[in-house]
Each structure stands twice: as C-alpha cells, then as structure tokens.
Amino acid sequence: MESSLRHYRHNERVQEFKSKYTEPMLITALPKLESFSRNIFTRIIHREVRKEIEGACAMNVEYVRQVEEKLFFKCNSFGDPDVEHVVEFDRGEGMFRCECMWFEHREVDEERQE
C-alpha cells in the first residue's frame, strides 16, 4: 500500500512540475487560440480544448466583428458550407457561446457523465 501511494505521489509531482515549468507544443492550425488555452488552463483541460480546436480546424472560420471584449465569428464545416453558425468568444470571461447552444449542451452532457 505504501509503495503504491509513494508511486502515486511521485506521478502527481511530475505532472505538477510539467504544468508549472514547461509548455505544451502548439500543434493545431489555430496557434493563437491554442496558445491562449495553454496559458490559462491546466494541462488536462488544455488537452480537451486542443481536441476541440483540432475539430474546429475542419471548419471555415471568418472573423465578423469585435464589440468590447467579445469577438464574433461565422463558422461552417467543410462538408456543409451552407449551414453557418455565429460563435461569440468573450475574452473577459474566457467563454465561447454559439447560437446553436452547442457549448452549453456539451457542459450539461459532461455533468451527467460525472
């Protein structure tokens, strides 16, 4: 039991060190967004955000406008260019919102899984 606990604590310290003193490589086609995620989230959350960014790279994203702290983009997928969604990024809150409520529905689904 003691050996297992020691191993667990060692792994925890290694992960904490990596989070504090190293930076993950930027690997997506949206380096500014990925860099923002890397700087504000923990490693585990950043990996989840990076998966979403990689999925978003299969989309056409067009900057529309900025209103104070909020940026607005038009997005559509390469496979279905006729269906567009407006995505809002609130820099102050660090939150994304879409008119289709995808981000809000995803949070509810994740809460159910926990």
Confidence of residue 9 (pLDDT cuts 50, 70, 90): very high
- Report domain extents, the chain: 1-57, 59-114
Q: What percent of the chain has pLDDT over 70?
A: 83
Longest dimension (CA), the chain: 60
Nearest to 91 by CA among 46, 32, 15, 31: 32
Looking at per-residue confidence, does 44 or 9 come out higher?
Answer: 9
Distance of alpha carbon 29 from alpha carbon 56, whole angstroms: 9
What is the residue-averaged pLDDT of the chain? 79
* 3-state class (DSSP) for residue 4: helix
pLDDT tens column, 58-106: 777 778 888 988 999 888 776 667 778 888 888 888 888 887 776 666 6
For the ranges 13-22, 47-56, 76-85, 92-101, which has the lowest average pLDDT? Answer: 76-85
